[in-house]
């Protein structure tokens, strides 16, 4: 049985990479964003999160806002070394963003252990449950971008949206693999039925970052847990 956690917030922005001039959110939380929230709550080097299902608990509503962003992005190597200084003032741009208002989701996920794990999976599951119960997290979770704080708690009996909200969202970001050079991405055909999105175990591989959706956009999304 998968672990479950309820996540909510006043706003969210799960950026669609194909609309990279102005940011437009997917209508619902992406699996990669859900992994980002889970890892903020609990993570160990010997485990990884695998999202199985996302339940949408509140009606999908949108709003627009203008955001300041920078085009001066550091590579992962520069960020680790700390040698490069970013000049955000000189590279600031303003973009319109289509965001989500008043969101709530119930995320169901499994823990997959690496070969070097020295504890049974039940030990990690118990640690996660305790952290959720006590509201503990390593870093404050967020919903797509850091200005949209995510709150979390134990799942309650709130029901997902009903069958009147069935929808097909097209290709959605499934996962980000930081273990390849360059970072690689997978996708899946996202469909909501009765307010529930079933996430396949494996996504569809995409071409390397930079060939399609734009390296800077995808790297920014990966760093933001979109």
pLDDT at 213 over 90: no
Confidence of residue 209 (pLDDT cuts 50, 70, 90): very low
Kindly state the tokens that stand for 199. 């996430």
DSSP state of 21: S
- Over residues 76-108, the pLDDT tens digits come to 677 777 777 777 777 778 888 999 999 999 999
| Entry pTM | 0.81
- Over residues 6-15, the pLDDT tens digits come to 999 999 999 8
The values of phi and psi at residue 100, to 5°, are -105, 140
> What is the per-residue pLDDT for 224?
42
- Over residues 175-204, the pLDDT tens digits come to 887 777 777 889 999 999 999 999 999 888
* CA 85 from centroid of its chain's CA atoms: 27
Half-sphere exposure at residue 3, Cβ-oriented, CA atoms within 13 angstroms: 28
> What is the per-residue pLDDT for 207?
56
Cα–Cα distance list, 10 to 41, 58, 104, 135, 161 (Å): 19, 11, 9, 18, 18
Q: For residues 1 and 36, what is the distance between their CA atoms, to the nearest angstrom?
A: 21
- Over residues 130-173, the pLDDT tens digits come to 999 999 999 999 999 989 999 999 999 999 998 888 999 988 98
């Amino acid at each position: 049985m998968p672990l479950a956690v309820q996540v909510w917030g006043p706003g969210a922005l799960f950026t669609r990479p194909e609309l990279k001039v102005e940011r437009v959110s997917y209508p619902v939380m992406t699996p990669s964003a859900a992994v980002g929230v889970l890892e903020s709550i609990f993570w160990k080097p010997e485990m990884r999160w695998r999202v199985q299902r996302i339940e949408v608990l509140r009606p999908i509503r949108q709003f627009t806002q203008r955001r300041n962003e920078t085009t001066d992005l550091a590579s992962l190597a520069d960020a680790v070394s700390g040698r490069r200084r970013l000049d955000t003032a000189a590279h600031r741009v303003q973009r319109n963003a289509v965001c989500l208002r008043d969101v709530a989701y119930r995320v169901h996920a499994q823990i997959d252990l690496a070969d070097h794990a020295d504890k049974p999976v039940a030990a990690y599951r118990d640690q996660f449950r305790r952290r959720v119960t006590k509201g503990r997290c390593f870093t404050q979770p967020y919903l797509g971008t850091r200005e949209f704080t995510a709150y979390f708690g134990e799942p309650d009996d709130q029901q997902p949206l009903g069958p009147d909200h069935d929808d097909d969202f097209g290709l959605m970001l499934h996962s980000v693999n930081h273990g390849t050079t360059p970072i690689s991405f997978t996708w899946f055909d996202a469909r909501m039925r009765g307010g529930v999105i079933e996430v396949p175990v494996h996504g569809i591989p995409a071409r390397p970052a930079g060939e399609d959706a734009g390296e800077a956009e995808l790297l920014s999304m990966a760093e933001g847990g979109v």
